Amino acid sequence: MASHRKSRTPGTRVAGIRTPALATAALTSVALLSQTADAAPGDDRPSLEEVEKKVGDLYRQAESATEKYNAAKEKTTKQRKRVDTLLDDVAQRTQKLNEARAELGSYAAAQYRTGAGMPDTATFLLAETPQDVFDQRQVLDRMTGRQKAAVDDYVTQQTETMKKRQEATESLRTLTETQDDLKTAKATVQKKLADARELLSKLTAEEKARLAAIEKRKQEEAARKAAELAREEAAQQSGGTSESSGSGSTGSADTPPADAPPADSSYAAKAEKALAFARAQIGKPYVWGATGPGSYDCSGLTQAAWKAAGVSLPRTTYDQVNAGTTVPVSQAQPGDLVFFYDDVTHVGIYIGNGMMIHAPKPGTYVREESIYYDGDSAIHSIVRPA
């Protein structure tokens, strides 16, 4: 069963972004309709093709919510670190403020014991705000040098402490907001996945078998398209022209952008390390929000793979798609990132011959699969990250 499904507007591919003339999703829908019997009169159960499409949509929505969760989690983590740093700073400055207050207190006590006609240093200790202290600065002209220094230190510490306390308060407010965003995204993911499981649980054994057959045919078609692209890649490497004429061929229609970077030896070396890492993760479960080492979601896997090659990628698909240069599908090289869907909610790492390694969806495992696993219309772009 397809993990994703989204119709796209017919058009052409520009700089690696494809919108084909006839969406694969539409072809699949026709095939489903031809194989699914009409519902009996009065039967309000959804048809098999409706279930298949709805489940695919729910998985897509869950993946979109997962990327929002990943972004909120990253933001929350950074904000929590900032809050911790500010609170530590406030504690340190409060300690210094107390020390400055104690020094002023010692002068006030000495004045009380001796009855000296010196300025009342204690008035500074009664000030509630920095402004109160500044309003009394005229008495400094009658103070000793050490007293003046003590007052200056006290004013500085009080001002800085109050400033940091305000920053900490604002950061705590922001942290609360990001935590709320995190909770909302998490609840959305869980709801979409629960809805998908509920729909699948209502299928009969026969319907599940038919869905499995549909999925198998889709995989066979995806494999055929990958084989076409592999032949085109081989022809390009040999300096010839691909003889492939299949309707699903995408490479010959692409025109590489002028600034597309060549896959030089330096890139190839990094890509080899990234791919070696990705291959080592095959068989590990997809878990939304996971970044390894025991499980991954799609962007968590690509981020970890390229990190193993010494390249730092952002956490989410939304940011990863901008972390490199877009190239046409026909110019894809091993290590490139393959992004899917108009809302850029899925990503895999290209391994060549029309294949990629990716973490597909909940209930599946990291695996090698055709980049056409959900039809060529699903491919959004190819990005070279280093």
Looking at the DSSP bridge assignments, the partners of residue 382 are 327, 338
Which helix (H) or strand (E) is 112 found in, with range? helix 48-114
Residue of 298, 321, 356, 379 marked active site: 298
Options 6, 225, 315, 358, the catalytic residue = 358
Pairwise CA distance, residues 103 & 295, whole Å: 57
Amino acid at 352: G
Q: Which of 225, 346, 361, 384 is catalytic?
A: 346
C-alpha–C-alpha distance, residues 137 and 128, integer Å: 14
Task: Look up tokens 């305000």; give the residue.
Answer: 166
Q: Does the annotation count 298 as an active-site position?
A: yes
Residue in the block written with tokens 């695996």: 367
Q: Which regions of 277-345 does DSSP assign to beta strands (E)?
A: 325-327, 337-340
Helix or strand (DSSP H, E) at 72: helix 48-114
- List the helix and strand counts (H, then E) for the chain: 9, 6
* 380 annotated active-site: no
246 assigned to active site: no
Residue with tokens 């929002």, as numbered in its chain: 68
Axis crossing angle, helix 265-280 with helix 298-308, rounded to the nearest 10:
130
Burial of 165 (0-12, 13-18, 19+ CB in 10 A): middle
Question: Which contacts of 309-312 are long-range, i.e. CB under 8 A and separated by 24 or more positions?
Answer: 309/270, 309/271, 309/272, 309/273, 309/274, 309/277, 309/335, 309/386, 310/270, 310/273, 311/270, 311/274, 311/385, 311/386
Q: Can you tell me the distance from the alpha carbon of 195 to that of 198, in angstroms, rounded to the nearest whole number?
A: 5
Instruction: Give catalytic residues, as residue numbers.
Output: 298, 346, 358
